[in-house]
Structure formats: structure tokens, C-alpha cells
Amino acid sequence: MSVKTADIVDSVRAMTWTGKSLRLLDQRYLPAEEKYVDLHTAVGVAEAVRNMVVRGAPAIGVTAAYGVVLAAKKAYQQDRYRWRELVETDLVILAAARPTAVNLAWALARMRDRFRFVEEDPVPVLLNEAAAIHREDIDANHRMGELGAAIIADCLNVLTHCNTGSLATGGYGTALGVIRTAFARGTLVSVFVNETRPWLQGSRLTAWECRQEQIPVTVIADSAAGALMQQGKVDAVVVGADRIAANGDVANKIGTYSLAVAARHHGLKFIVVAPCSTIDRETSCGGDIPIEDRGGGEITEFAGQNIAPAGLAAWNPVFDITPASLVDVLVTEKGVIDQPDSCKIEALFSQ
């Protein structure tokens, strides 16, 4: 079945520019409630990123770009001659919101380069640039959807981890975009979703997105993934990434590494889908990627209630590193890399 991704409608958007503010779908309330927040300052945007109102590396990058628009608007109103100097304070705050997601730093650098030579009111120029980043991310996701769907054309059921759909991107999705395209083409029957402890991005967000698009979805406990593979109920693993090092090592939601190990043991393809903006060529390997630790409370508490003995120590890294040697395919908007390594990644950028 020949279906172009441009013809596939995805109804979810994590962020929208209203003309005066940045409107975010507050993902902490899903799936029970669709609640939106309007942000008017860069500090508010940074808090929203840090507090998981919006999450997912590409979505964080797009959100940060609009945050720079708000920062410049405030700075220019304060002093039209010193606004570049004043805006830097907000940019530092934005950059510190989520250190692992490289799209954040990438978007801030691109916005900073854009306002360097602006002489008049910077808001119109920066808003155009933020909108371009947003649009380019959606276009990249559509392209990756096409490339990735071809790779899993013989797969009836796939397993994914965390949330990589419209909620985690500018729109359409990375790994979930591939799943969306394959399902629309009639090659994919269903998707299995890890719950993704402790924030449950899989069971709350990915399952919700699949329901919105009528994609058959089954949620499993994170610890059930190995048994799922052992029983032959899944044909491939498709995930996203928050940062990819120059050698192909992948930083993604905690639990991704375990899936890669299990997939290799069971002879299943392990596929990573991410735009080139997620590839950090300045970081040589996964060991150099900063891993965010959000504290033990997210492990020992749920909805404000203790689910473990009070005062219990807990380790809560948000991401883990999957070595490039366990990645069978890396899908980007520029092309597909089998068994990615530093040479292949560098060649991708030299095209």
C-alpha cells in the first residue's frame, strides 16, 4: 500500500505559538485531562521543560527556540540597545533546564546565531527562525517515517519505549512516526509499549497517542519486554534518542539499553530513529554524555504518596547509554545507517 507521510494526519501538537505566548499541552495530566498552559517568559519555558510539562528531545528544542523569542521580547522592551546582553541570562536558564537532550543546546545555538546581526526589534526575525525550526522538525519526522517504515515493512508487531510521537517532537514523531507510517501503509498490525517507569511516558502518552490515531496498542510492564521477545510476539524494537554521540552511542530513556541487549539476544532488529539535530558530533562517545538524575522521589513516591519505606535510598538516572555496537539501524532524515559508527555518521553529514 503506497501512502505518503504527508497524507497521514496526526492530530496532536505539544506546542503552539499563539501570537503572544507559547502554549504547551501539559503532558503531566495526560491521559486523564488535556490541559494547556500559556507561557510568556523564557524562565517560565525553562520551568516547563524542567518540570516535564513538555518532554522529548526534539520537542524541547522547538520549545526552547520559542523561549528565546520570549526572552528577546522582554530584553528589547527593557533596553533596545543592550538587549543582546540582557537576553543571555535567560539563555543560560533555558540551557540548564534539561542537560542530556542535545536538541536544547542545538536550538539555542541556532537562535543565538540568528540574532547576532539583528539591528532592529529582534522578535519578528527570531519568531521566523523558531517557526522554521518547528516546521523543519515536522518535515524531518515525515521523512524518517518513510525511511523507517520501509525497514520494518516485514514486521507485524513492534515494541517501543517511552514516547517518541507528536508529544515528543514538533509533530508526527520519530520512532512513533515510523510506526504511524507503517500502520497507515497496512504493513504493521500493532505496537507494544513499555510503561516506562517512573513517569510512565509509554502507558500515559504513547498509548494515548496511538488511541488518538486508532493504532492497536498493548502496554506491558518494562520488565516484561524480555519475555515478550522470548515468546516471539514482537518482530523489532523501534526507539528514539535524546542524544547520539559521534561514534553512534545512543542516550535515551532509561531502560533502552536493556531492550537493546535483549533484542540482540533474540535476534531482533534494534532501530533508533532520530533527526540529525540529535547527533552531537562534539561528543565522542556515550561515556561523555551527561546523564540527568532527577532524584529518588520519583521512584519511591507516586502521586505524592510513598510506595516505599520512608527515607529509602533510590537511584534515578533518567537516561542510559546504548553502545553503537547494539544498534542495528539508525534512521535520520538524511538517510539510514546500518551498524552506525563514527565514520558512517561523519559521512552522513558530508553528503
* Residue among 142, 137, 166, 134 at smallest CA distance from 55: 166
Q: CA 276, CA 141: separation in Å to the nearest integer?
A: 11
Beta pairing partners, 253:
319
> Which residues are CB-neighbours of 332 under 8 A, at least 6 positions away?
140, 144, 274, 275, 276, 279, 348
CB neighbour burial string for 199-232, b if at least 16 within 10 angstroms, e if fewer: bbbbbbbbbbbbeebebebebbebeebbebbeee
Rg (CA), the chain: 20
> Which residues are CB-neighbours of 64 under 8 A, at least 6 positions away?
45, 49, 94, 97, 103, 104, 107, 108, 111
Phi-psi category of 173—alpha, beta or left, where left has phi over 0 and alpha has psi -120 to 50? left
Convert 242-256 into a string of H (helix), E (strand) and C (coil).
CEEECCCCEEEECCH
Decide if 288 is catalytic.
no
* Residue among 4, 2, 52, 10 at smallest CA distance from 213: 10
Q: CA 326, CA 323: separation in Å to the nearest integer?
A: 6
In the set 90, 137, 242, 320, the catalytic residue is 242
Side chain identity, residue 17: W
Q: Which residue has the cell 488518538?
A: 212
In this structure, what C-alpha cell is assigned to residue 227?
519475555
Among all residues, which ones are annotated catalytic?
A: 242
